Structure 1
Amino acid sequence: MGETVDAVVIGAGPNGLVAANMLVDAGWDVIVLEATDHLGGAVRSAPLAAPGFLSDVCSSFYPLGYASPPLAALRLDEYGLRWTNAPHVLAHLLPDGRAAVLDRDLDVTAASLEEFAPGDGRRWRSEYARWAEVSDELLGALLTPFPPVRPGLALYRRLRTAGLLRLARWFLLPARILGEEMFEGEGGRALLAGLALHTNLSPVEVGSGVYGWLLAMLGQQYGFPVPVGGAGRLADALVDRLRARGGEILLDAPVDRVIVGAGRALGVRSADGRHWRARRAVLADVPAPALFLDLVGADRLPDRFVDDLRHFRWDDATIKVDWALSGPVPWVNEAARRAGTVHLRVDTPGLVDFSADLAAGRVPERPFVLVGQMTTADPTRSPAGTEAMWAYTHVPRREKWTAADIDRHVERIERVIEQSAPGFRDLVIGRHVTGPERMEAENPSLVGGAINGGTAALYQLLFLRPVPGLGRADTPVDKLYLASASAHPGGGVHGGPGANAARAALARHRVVAGDLYAAGVKAAQRAVYS
C-alpha cells in the first residue's frame, strides 16, 4: 500500500473533524479524506441567494453544539470561533396571529406563555428548574457511548430510583401528550411540538416529547447560537485546529473501499486507486449503509448484521430555500421580527396533520415552515438594513423530485410566509432553492435530502442505532468505527458520534486493556449477530 498513518478518517464533516482532532491530541498521525471539494459537510456557508448575502448551506443554529462537552473540550475559541444570538431565540406563530416566544430571559419566556393560560409561566419556570438540576448529567448521558455509565450513575445519585423511573416515562411521551401534561395553553404546547419537528418525529410519536423539551431547555439556557460569520466558521475552527496539531486533510478524495483482512480494517482505497494503510484505525463519517454495504461489502459482515442494515430507516426529505431580502421581513407579529428562528402559523393539531401527510407519503398542502433569520441573529451575514433568510420544510422521500414538483412546493412555502408577513415577496432580490437531490449531490451524506443521518424514531436510537447492537461506534470489523450521525447519539451538530468513535479507537489501543476491550466487543457482537 501507499502512505501509512495511524488513522484514516473518511469524511470531513463535523463528526469526522471532531474525531480527527481527538486522535491528534492523543499523538496519533491522522489523515482525513473528503470526497467533495469542500470541508465541513453540512456545516458550511456560501453566498447562495445573492452576492454579499451569506447563507448557511445546510445547518445554522447550534444549541447542542454550543453546549456539547466534546466541542467544548476542543477550545475552538482559540481558533477563531465566536458565537452570537438573535434577540429572541424563537417565535412560534399560531394561525390566530399570536406568538409563543422563547427567549434567553426566563421572565420573557414565562410572560409569553402566561398570556396563553394563567399559570403556564410558572409551569415553564418549574420545567427549567428541573432542567437546571439534571442538565449536565443528562447531556453527558445523551452524547457519550451507550450505556452511559458515569453520567447514568450521576443521574441516579441525584434522582434515585423513583426519579429515574418517572424520567424514563417522561422521555417516552409524545410531544403532544407532554405538552398537554405540562401546559394549559396552546402556546407552550405548540412550542414543544414545533421543536420536536426539528427532527422527523410526529408530535404523536413515542419519544418525540423529549426532543422538543431538550431544544426548549437548551434555548432557554443558551439560546440558539450561530457562529459569527457563518456556520462555516465552526468547520474552519475544527480544520485550523487539526492542521495546527499536525493532522492532514485531502479534498476530492472519495474512498471507494475499506480494505479488510483477517477481520480487521487495514486501510482504505480512494476512487483514483490510491491507498492509505491505517496502523490503528479507520473512522468513517459516512452514512451506515454507505460504509457497510458499499465500502466494506456485505460479504465481509455477519449475515444478521447485513439483514438488519437493510431495514435502516432514513428520516424525511427536505426542501430548503435561501433568500436575499432588501429589508427586514415585515412580520405582522412583532415578536417574529426579533427572533432568529420562526415557526410559521401551525398549532399542535396542524403539526399532527402535517406529520400525518408525511407518514402517508403525501406532499403537505400546508407545510410546517421553519424560518431562519440569519442577519437578525448575526449582522455580518448581509448588508445593513437587509436580511439573509432561509426556510426549510420536510417532504416525503421519493425516488425523483422534478423541478416542477419543487417549484410548486416553494410556492407553498412562500405563501405561508406571505400570510404572516404581507409584502415579503416584494423584498426578494435573490433566491436559491435546494431540493432533496441537489442536497445529496452537494453532500453525499444527506441521502435523499435526509438531514438527520437516519430517523430519530425510538426504534433506531441508543443500542438500536444504526441496527440492533451495542449502541457504540465499534463495528463487526475490528478497528473500523462508525463516526457519523447514523451512529449513536444521532443527528445534530454536537460532535457526539465523532467523539465516541475516537474514544473507541483509543480504548482499542491501550496497552493490555486494549486487547481486553477488543475481546469484550467481539464477544458482545458474537452474541448479537451470530
Structure 2
Amino acid sequence: MLPRSVDAVVIGSGPNGLVSAITLADAGWDVLVLEAADTFGGAVRSTEEGGWISDRFSSNYPLGVASPVIRALELEKYGLKWANAPLPLVHLLDEDGAAAAIHPDPEDTAKSLGAEHPGDGDAWLRLYQQYVSVREPLLNALLTTWPPVGPGLKLARKLGSVGELLRFARFMAMPMHRMGQELFAGRQGPAIFAGNALHADAPLSGSVSGTMGWLLAMMAQDVGYPVAAGGSSAFSSALVRRAERAGALLIPDTPVTRVEVSAGRVTAVQTASGETVSVARAVIADTSAPALYGGLLPEAIIPAGLRRDLDERFEWDYPTVKLNFRLSGPIPWKAAEAQLAGVVHLGGTADDLVHVSADLDTGRIPAQPFLLIGQTTKSDPSRSPEGTEAVWAYSHLPRGIADDAAAEKLAGRMERAIERFAPGFADLVIARDLQRPSALESGNAALGFGALGGGTMQLHQQLIFRPTIGLGSARTFVTGLYLGSSAIHPGGGVHGACGHLAARTALRDASLLGPVTRTLPTAALRHLQR
C-alpha cells in the first residue's frame, strides 16, 4: 500500500529519477519513487541467464565516471565497481585491418597517431592537455542550468584571455568534419572524433557536432569507456542503495497514469491501480516530454503553444537497432588492436561517416552503416562463461523509419559488416538477440521509437529550446511539477545532471525565497507556451 501523502513523488527510476530522489532526500524531504517496470534503473539495466550478462540498453559510461553529479554521490561506497578493457576504444578504418586506437596512456595514443602522420601525435597531446586544463569548469558548465554563469566565468579564467575564450567558443561550434580537417593531417584522428560524434545525432557537417566527438574522445583518453562490473544493473543498484540510505522509498510495478493539478499547482499522482498519493511540494517526472505533456497531465490544461510545439517541432533522436551476441570465442578482427578494445567503432574514415550521417538525415538506411560495438567481456570477464564473449552492437535508422522490417534490414547489414572486418565472426555466434526500436520502447517507455537520448541533441532542441521553446530549466507551466529526464537540458547521456537540476530547482522553489525564484520564470514560461 502506498503512503497517502509525501513531500515529493519522482515518476520513474532511471538514473535521472534516482539522482532526483537522492538530492531531495538528502535535503530532508519525504520522497517516493514510483517505477512502472518490475526493476529499477530505466535504460541502465542488465539481465543474467546461465552465466551470460547482457546490458539491455546503455552499457559504457565515460560520462558516469566523469560527471561531477555522479562523482559526488560516491557510489563506490554502495557497491559500484568500474571495469575497463586493455584499450578503451578502437576505430576500424578499412577492411584491410587499418585502425586507430585510444590507449590508456595519452603518450601511447599520440605515438600511434604520429606513426601514421607526423604531427598528429603532438596535436593529440595538445588537445588532451587543453581538455585537462578546462575539464572541471567545462563539465560543470555543460551539466548545469542554462546559462552557466558561474562555471562559465571559471572557464573563462582558465582560458586566460578574451581571445582564447573566443577561440575556444569557435572550436566548440565547429562541425565535426571541419574540426577533423583543422586538427589532423592523417586519417586516424578525424575518424576517432567522427565515430565519437556519431554517439549523438548531430550531422557531422553541422555546427557543434565537433563538440560531442572531441569531448567523448577526450573522456575516453581520461577515464576510458568503462562498464559497471557485473552488468549495468549494478550501476542502478548502487543508485538505489544510495537513495534508500538517504531515506527515499522506492516502489516498482507501479505505473503512474495521471498527475493531478488544482489551481495551477500539482497536488497528487494517481497510479494504474487507482491509488492516489498527495504531494505537498513537488513531482519530478523522469519521463519523455511527450509522455508528460501528452499523457500524464490532463489534456485540457496543456497550453496551446506547448501542444503545438510538441506536435509540430519536437524531434526524437535516431531510432536504434541493437544486436546482442553470445559468442564461442573472441571476434577475429583483422585489426589486432580491436582484440583488446572495450568499444569498437566500425564505419571507415571520417569522410565515410559524413556519408553515413547524410544518409540518416535524408531518410536512407545506410548501405554501409556505422556500428558502435561493445565487447563487454573484454572489459568485465564476469559477463560470460570462460572462453566465450558477450558482445553487443548497435546502429541507427533514419528518423521516421522505425518499423520492424527496417530494423531487420539494418541488422542484416550490421552482421555482414562485422563479418567483413572479422571473417569467421558468424561461425562464433551461439545466440543472437535483436532489439528493434519497438522492443527498446516496450522495455522502457522513455525511449520513444527506440531513441536513446530523449530527443535530438542538435542545437535547435538544446539549451532554451529543450524539449520545446522555454527557459532551459526543469520547470513546467504547472507550479511544483518538474521535468527531470534527458528531455531537458543538458540532454542524453548517463550523467545524472537532468535529474539533479530538476531536484535543485524544486528545492529552490520550495525555499523561503521560492516566491521570488519561481514566480517570474513560471509566468514567463506560461507566456511563451500559451
Give the alignment's TM-score, normalised by structure 1: 0.97
Letter in 2 for 1:167: F
Task: Tell me how far 1:45 sits from its aligned partner.
Answer: 0.7
Aligned: 1:186 with 2:191: no
What is the aligned-residue RMSD (CA, Å)? 1.5
Match of 1:90 in 2: 89
| CA distance 1:226–1:260, change in 2 (3 Å) | same
Letter in 1 for 2:387: G
**CA-to-aligned-CA distance 1:202-226 (integer Å, 9 cap, x gap):** 2112111000000011111111111
Aligned: 1:528 with 2:528: yes
Match of 1:120 in 2: 120
Match of 1:276 in 2: 277
**CA-to-aligned-CA distance 1:345-399 (integer Å, 9 cap, x gap):** 4211211111122112121121111110000011111122211000000012346
Match of 2:9 in 1: 8
**CA-to-aligned-CA distance 1:11-59 (integer Å, 9 cap, x gap):** 0111000100111111111111111112101101113xx6321111011
Match of 2:75 in 1: 76
| CA distance 1:161–1:307, change in 2 (3 Å) | farther
Question: What is the alpha-carbon distance in structure 1 between the residues aligned to residue 411 and residue 290 of structure 2?
Answer: 30
**CA-to-aligned-CA distance 1:169-200 (integer Å, 9 cap, x gap):** 21111101001111111110111011000011
Task: Tell me how far 1:70 sits from its aligned partner.
Answer: 1.0
| CA distance 1:455–1:516, change in 2 (3 Å) | same
Query: Unmatched 5+ residue regions in structure 1?
Result: none
| CA distance 1:268–1:225, change in 2 (3 Å) | same
Letter in 2 for 1:443: N
Paired residue for 1:387, among 389, 392, 396? 389
Letter in 2 for 1:63: P
- Is the 2:17–2:484 Cα contact (8 Å) retained in structure 1? yes
Aligned: 1:397 with 2:396: no
Aligned: 1:228 with 2:224: no
Match of 2:149 in 1: 149
- Is the 2:475–2:522 Cα contact (8 Å) retained in structure 1? no
- Is the 1:342–1:371 Cα contact (8 Å) retained in structure 2? yes
Match of 1:452 in 2: 453
SS, match of residue 32 in structure 2 = strand
Aligned: 1:216 with 2:237: no
Task: Tell me how far 1:298 sits from its aligned partner.
Answer: 4.2
Aligned: 1:374 with 2:392: no
SS, match of residue 489 in structure 2 = coil
Query: Unmatched 5+ residue regions in structure 2?
Result: none
- Is the 1:342–1:372 Cα contact (8 Å) retained in structure 2? yes
- Is the 1:298–1:306 Cα contact (8 Å) retained in structure 2? no
Question: What is the alpha-carbon distance in structure 2 between the residues aligned to residue 154 and residue 60 of structure 1?
Answer: 32
Task: Tell me how far 1:526 sits from its aligned partner.
Answer: 4.6
- Is the 1:259–1:266 Cα contact (8 Å) retained in structure 2? yes
Letter in 2 for 1:87: P
Question: What is the alpha-carbon distance in structure 1 between the residues aligned to residue 306 and residue 163 of structure 2?
Answer: 37
Aligned: 1:63 with 2:65: no
SS, match of residue 422 in structure 1 = coil
SS, match of residue 510 in structure 1 = coil
Aligned: 1:35 with 2:28: no
SS, match of residue 326 in structure 2 = strand
Question: What is the alpha-carbon distance in structure 1 between the residues aligned to residue 519 and residue 63 of structure 2?
Answer: 34
SS, match of residue 482 in structure 2 = strand
| CA distance 1:522–1:405, change in 2 (3 Å) | closer
The percentage of aligned residue pairs carrying the same residue is 48
Tell me which moved more, 67-76 or 520-529.
Answer: 520-529
- Is the 1:88–1:103 Cα contact (8 Å) retained in structure 2? yes
Match of 2:507 in 1: 506
Letter in 1 for 2:442: A
SS, match of residue 115 in structure 1 = helix
- Is the 1:97–1:345 Cα contact (8 Å) retained in structure 2? no
Question: What is the alpha-carbon distance in structure 2 between the residues aligned to residue 526 and residue 406 of structure 1?
Answer: 40
Task: Tell me how far 1:527 sits from its aligned partner.
Answer: 5.1
SS, match of residue 323 in structure 1 = strand
* Superposition map of 1:16-415 within 5 A: 16-47=17-48, 51-95=50-94, 96-159=96-159, 160-310=161-311, 311-398=313-400, 401-402=403-404, 404-415=405-416
Task: Tell me how far 1:446 sits from its aligned partner.
Answer: 0.6
Letter in 1 for 2:130: R
- Is the 2:361–2:399 Cα contact (8 Å) retained in structure 1? no
Question: What is the alpha-carbon distance in structure 1 between the residues aligned to residue 3 and residue 43 of structure 2?
Answer: 30
- Is the 2:14–2:43 Cα contact (8 Å) retained in structure 1? yes
**CA-to-aligned-CA distance 1:63-86 (integer Å, 9 cap, x gap):** 111011111111111110011111
Question: What is the alpha-carbon distance in structure 2 between the residues aligned to residue 286 and residue 112 of structure 1?
Answer: 43
Aligned: 1:468 with 2:496: no
- Is the 2:54–2:231 Cα contact (8 Å) retained in structure 1? yes
Letter in 2 for 1:515: P
Question: What is the alpha-carbon distance in structure 1 between the residues aligned to residue 294 and residue 406 of structure 2?
Answer: 31
Question: What is the alpha-carbon distance in structure 2 between the residues aligned to residue 526 and residue 449 of structure 1?
Answer: 31
Letter in 1 for 2:151: P
Task: Tell me how far 1:294 sits from its aligned partner.
Answer: 1.3
- Is the 1:2–1:274 Cα contact (8 Å) retained in structure 2? no
Tell me which moved more, 353-362 or 60-69.
Answer: 353-362
| CA distance 1:88–1:480, change in 2 (3 Å) | same
Letter in 1 for 2:89: L
**CA-to-aligned-CA distance 1:422-447 (integer Å, 9 cap, x gap):** 11111111111100001100110111
Tell me which moved more, 119-128 or 32-41.
Answer: 32-41
Question: What is the alpha-carbon distance in structure 1 between the residues aligned to residue 105 and residue 401 of structure 2?
Answer: 45
Question: What is the alpha-carbon distance in structure 1 between the residues aligned to residue 483 and residue 233 of structure 2?
Answer: 24
Question: What is the alpha-carbon distance in structure 2 between the residues aligned to residue 380 and residue 12 of structure 1?
Answer: 26
| CA distance 1:88–1:28, change in 2 (3 Å) | same
SS, match of residue 467 in structure 1 = coil
Letter in 1 for 2:458: A
Match of 2:424 in 1: 423
- Is the 1:140–1:151 Cα contact (8 Å) retained in structure 2? yes
Question: What is the alpha-carbon distance in structure 1 between the residues aligned to residue 459 and residue 246 of structure 2?
Answer: 39
Total equivalences in the alignment: 526
Match of 2:483 in 1: 482
Task: Tell me how far 1:272 sits from its aligned partner.
Answer: 2.0
- Is the 1:110–1:125 Cα contact (8 Å) retained in structure 2? yes
| CA distance 1:144–1:193, change in 2 (3 Å) | same
Task: Tell me how far 1:118 sits from its aligned partner.
Answer: 0.7
